[in-house]
Amino acid sequence: MKPVRSTILGVGHYVPTRVVTNDDLAKLMTTSNEWIVQRTGIRERRYIEHSGIGASDLAVPAARMALEHAGKAAKDVDAIIFATLSPDHNFPGSGCFLADKLGLPGVCALDVRNQCSGFLYGLSIADAWVRAGTYRHVLLVGAEVHSTGVEFADRGRDVAVLFGDGAGAVIIGAAEGDDQGLKAIRLHADGSGAKDLWVEAPASAYMPRLTAEMLAEGKHYPAMNGKHVFRWATEKMPEVVREVMADANMGVDQIDLFVPHQANLRINQFVGQKLGIPESKTVHNIEVYGNTTAATIPLGLSEAWREGKCKRGSNVLMAAFGSGYTWAGAVITL
Ligand SMILES: CC(C)(COP(=O)(O)OP(=O)(O)OC[C@H]1O[C@@H](n2cnc3c(N)ncnc32)[C@H](O)[C@@H]1OP(=O)(O)O)[C@@H](O)C(=O)NCCC(=O)NCCS
């Protein structure tokens, strides 16, 4: 029999051990701890310890932790969804590398390229697969290595200070009973803002895809119109939350935990105030991890669950906004 709903059976996370503070970055570019904390809330972030560690490597311990939490073994996974904007290599997708590292030959592996909204886009696919009976246990991962892709110089300082490396993972499977599981999910995109936060090259749109001139101009680094991103995020995150709350037929007072994407503490404080969600119910770890894009939501949920901020039966609200532009929201009863 096909399940009525899917739910999160287990959650895990992993961050590299190397801590990089704002003062460490101030040695590489003109910036300060005060500037970064005031505008973003970020105090430190984690970076991979050395070259050769890709997003799929960070995903392995996160996936194992999620499997253990779910009481499942790797062999129980029959599909992988890997959300990342920093795949180990241009192709194939990081899901294939992860499947190999977990010893899962033949298992379906799909990469999702929806940046900060990637985890929720992946959740929607996993939910559909489980409810359709296509797959029973989907390993959904968000993992990023940003530290090899930002520019540690004044030109790239607006972006470089924001991002960190990390991974989060969940196991999605059939919910027990009618009340448990994913109650609502909405996905959105608007490509008119695509170039407000993007990496221009290497690009299949150019011949050749990458030149010495492009490298000199820094086209291979992320470029961002921070003010536009900020404005869109503070408009679209509350909007999508209202949509999913209405779909789920719930009021925000019924929410036990709000896990927003971690791009900027000020964005999330603004969103929380606009929606009337108290800070005590809101997850934030941007202070210590920065923005780990597709990893922020599962990473935040995993820590919150272990700290007892949510449990089976809790109503959890999730919302994200990011490059694309893409944005999404979801409500789940754990
Ligand atoms: C990036 C962000 C913190 C910048 O804050 P801001 O108040 O908009 O700052 P501005 O871009 O106006 O820059 C102000 C000044 O600080 C400078 N600046 C930029 N980065 C800096 C840094 N790391 N350290 C010190 N100064 C910096 C700018 O060059 C600018 O200098 P100028 O006035 O001499 O031109 C903010 O726009 C933001 O958070 N946007 C959203 C970004 C985001 O969430 N991205 C991820 C989406 S998922």
Q: Which position among 116, 264, 268, 284 bears the catalytic label?
A: 116
Burial of 221 per CB tally in 10 Å (0-12, 13-18, 19+): buried
Q: Rounded mean pLDDT of the chain?
A: 97
Q: What is the pLDDT of residue 1?
A: 75
pLDDT of residue 50: 97
Residue 117 pLDDT > 80: yes
**pLDDT at position 177:** 85
- What local confidence, expressed as pLDDT, does residue 128 receive? 98
Task: Determine whether 261 is an active site residue.
Answer: yes
> φ, ψ for residue 75 (rounded to 5)?
-65, -15
Quote the ligand 1 centre to 162 CA distance (angstroms).
10
Bond into 92 cis (ω within 30) = yes
Q: For a substitution probing ligand 1, which of 45, 115, 158 has the most ligand atoms within 8 Å of its CB? A: 158
- Does the pLDDT value for residue 47 go beyond 80? yes
322, burial (CB in 10 Å: exposed 0-12, middle 13-18, buried 19+): buried
Tell me the per-residue pLDDT of 91-114, one tens digit each, with 9 for 90 and over: 999 999 999 999 999 999 999 999
What pLDDT, on a 0 to 100 scale, did the predictor assign at position 268? Answer: 95
Report pLDDT digits (tens) over 67-90: 999 999 999 999 999 999 999 999
